[in-house]
Amino acid sequence: MTRHPVHTPACAARLPARSRRSFILISPAVLLLLTSILAVPATVTAENAAADSRLLRFPALSKDSIAFVNGGDIWIAPRAGGPARQLTSDPGLEWFPRFSPDGKWIAFIGQYDGNRDVYLIPSEGGVPKRLTWWIDTGSPSERQGPNNLVLGWTPDGKRVLFRSRHLSWEDRAGRLFTVSMEGGFPEQVGVPEGGFATFSPDGKKLFYNRIFRDFRTWKRYRGGMTQNLWIYDLSANKLEMITENDNTSRDPMWIGDTLYFNSDRDRTFNLFSSDTSGKNVKKLTQFTDYDVRWASAGPGGIVFENGGYVYLYDIASGKNAKVSIQVPSERRAVRAEFKKVNDLIEDGSLSPEGKRVAFVARGDLFSVPAEKGNTRILAASSNSHERLPAWSPDGKWIAYVSDQTGEDEIWRVPQDGKGPQERLTTNGLPALRPSVVARQQEDRLRRQGPQGLHSGRGQQEGPAGRPGQVRRGDQLQLVP
């Protein structure tokens, strides 16, 4: 859960022993020569700038605004849509904005001081105020979610409701707390553990998930961690089960006398409602392509994410619509820039004569000399991932796997970089962890220069002696 994941070099572990020894000898050349790659610049037009932005996550709703996360920062846009305004810009992540009941404040999770803690910022913008001061309990994986997570507010708008692993007995568990917007010690809510939660309008009950697995990517899960919804009476110490089935119900919301939640009981997550006893269940949205995610209630409506866009469900009309939002970000990630890639090597293959090595770094294919010569960028594209290079026995070609068509396919390119890339397969590769090995003595992937391609069962050529389609059944020596 960081903006800039750290890549560790893995090519040495994947190469045979002979190749590893050669790699160690030429690694200084790699460090000197494999120093930069120019990213493919995006075409910027007025039409693109005005298009609706995507990847808008964790939305929250106030009377007149929608807050959301884009690029790890919090933005705010008019409820009716339009250009967004940036509220946070710290290099760390800012997540899960939640408006106070009066809409004047936004509570969120930030990393300003290193840990993921609860912060408060005016909805008009300003200096974030830190509310919690707990030490992070390790660095959980992304599917575990953050250690601290803002869920909402108490109905009187004086305290922020959040989930934390601070006092939990293991990583999957978390407890619910509230903290005053003035600061001070957090107070635990009267349940032993919980996930997403919200208070009843009078603040006397808690509508919540007892199980937290919202960041896991499981689809249509029906196992022992299936999430159901419960109501806990804080004063009577009484627990009532609201949903009871083998599907997932999450994102609890309580508006007036109606409960709202998100469920995949029809295979795709959609919004549902029921009365406060869990009866009279109604399906409110009808999405089939993408799940409804991260639903959050506000005055007169519910906002949620679907397919990367923000949608608003209007309670009065019972209709939902996409909110047209434009994020005027500088989009640094799509700007052409130089990158050092010598520490980002993923795969490698030694040429038959040992004079050059084919490397993959940041998804692009390079050819690097052992001693003298130039570094060649043989395949560089910002929209595809090249991997697993392998030299032909005659040293003229380099085969590799690329997903530039949308499926993993085998391609080849002249090792001198003076010819185009050629696609050798057309029906995708088996779902294996392949290592394409082009060594004549191992009798695996044989080539006869540009004249043909040999597979485990024989040779199949296209017109004019060029390599044709290779059937999946031919098994191009994909070695686990």
Is 138 a residue whose pLDDT tops 50?
yes
Q: 138-147, 275-284, 446-455: which has the highest mean pLDDT?
A: 275-284
Residues 308, 340, single domain; the answer is: no
Residues 284, 371, single domain; the answer is: no
- Mean pLDDT along residues 203-209: 97
Residues 318, 358, single domain; the answer is: no
For the full predicted model, state whether its pTM sits above 0.75: no
Q: How much is the pLDDT for 439?
A: 41
Of 300, 326, 352, the domain-final residue? 326
> Comparing C-alpha atoms, which of 259, 253, 252 is closest to residue 228?
252
Per-residue 3-state assignment (H helix, E strand, C coil) for 160-219: EEEEECCCCCCCCCCEEEEEECCCCCCEECCCCCCCCEEECCCCCEEEEECCCCCCCCCC
Residues 102, 149, single domain; the answer is: yes
Residues 152, 277, single domain; the answer is: yes
> Comparing C-alpha atoms, which of 270, 79, 105 is closest to residue 181?
105
For residue 318, the one-letter residue type is: G
- Two tokens, residue 364: 């692009």
Residue 41 CA to residue 148 CA, distance in Å, equals 37
Total domains in the chain come to 2
Residue 155 CA to residue 195 CA, distance in Å, equals 19
Is position 2 within any domain?
Answer: no
User: Which region among 90-104, 270-284, 428-442 has the lowest average model confidence (pLDDT)?
Assistant: 428-442
Residues 236, 381, single domain; the answer is: no
Query: Which residues, other chains included, contact 347 with Cβ-Cβ below 8 Å and sequence gap of 6+?
Result: 10, 11, 14, 359, 360, 387, 388, 389
DSSP assignment of 135-159 equals PP-S---GGG--SEEEEEE-TTSSE
**What is the CA 235 to chain-centroid distance, rounded?**
40
> Comparing C-alpha atoms, which of 434, 441, 388 is closest to residue 411?
388
Q: How much is the pLDDT for 428?
A: 79
Residues 416, 294, single domain; the answer is: no
**What is the CA 393 to chain-centroid distance, rounded?**
40
**Residue 21 host element (H or E):** helix 17-33
Q: How much is the pLDDT for 331?
A: 78
Of 326, 355, 388, the domain-final residue? 326
Residues 27, 69, single domain; the answer is: no
- Mean pLDDT along residues 247-271: 96
Residues 113, 230, single domain; the answer is: yes
CB contact at 8 A, 37 and 339: yes
- Two tokens, residue 224: 């022992």
Residue 250 CA to residue 265 CA, distance in Å, equals 11
Q: How confident is the model at residue 382 (pLDDT cuts 50, 70, 90)?
A: confident
Is position 479 within any domain?
Answer: no
Of 273, 301, 326, the domain-final residue? 326
Q: What is the mean pLDDT of the chain?
A: 82
- Two tokens, residue 143: 């599917």
Residue 107 CA to residue 110 CA, distance in Å, equals 10
Domain range enclosing 310: 50-326
List b or e across 459-470, with b for residues whose CB sees 16 or more CB atoms inside 10 angstroms.
eeeeeeeebeeb
Residues 202, 119, single domain; the answer is: yes
Between CA 236 and CA 247, with CA 242 as vertex, the angle to 5 degrees is 145
- Cα radius of gyration rounded to whole Å, the chain: 27
Q: Residue 50: helix, strand or coil by DSSP?
A: helix
For residue 233, what are the β-bridge partners? 205, 238
- Two tokens, residue 207: 């509508």
Q: How much is the pLDDT for 50?
A: 62
For 282-301, the pLDDT digits (tens) are 999 999 999 999 999 999 99
Is position 184 within any domain?
Answer: yes
Q: How much is the pLDDT for 83?
A: 97
Between CA 151 and CA 154, with CA 152 as vertex, the angle to 5 degrees is 135
Residues 135, 269, single domain; the answer is: yes
Query: Which residues, other chains included, contact 22 with Cβ-Cβ below 8 Å and sequence gap of 6+?
Result: 350, 354, 357, 370
Residue 267 CA to residue 457 CA, distance in Å, equals 43
| Dihedrals phi, psi of 210, to nearest 5 degrees | -80, -25
Is position 1 within any domain?
Answer: no
Is 35 a residue whose pLDDT tops 50?
no
Is position 4 within any domain?
Answer: no
Q: How much is the pLDDT for 283?
A: 97
- From residue 430, alpha-carbon distances to 4, 427, 472 in Å are 31, 9, 7
Q: How much is the pLDDT for 32?
A: 40
Is position 233 within any domain?
Answer: yes
Query: Which residues, other chains included, contact 458 with Cβ-Cβ below 8 Å and sequence gap of 6+?
Result: 474
What percent of the chain lies above the pLDDT cut of 70?
78
For 389-425, the pLDDT digits (tens) are 999 999 999 999 999 998 999 999 999 999 999 999 9
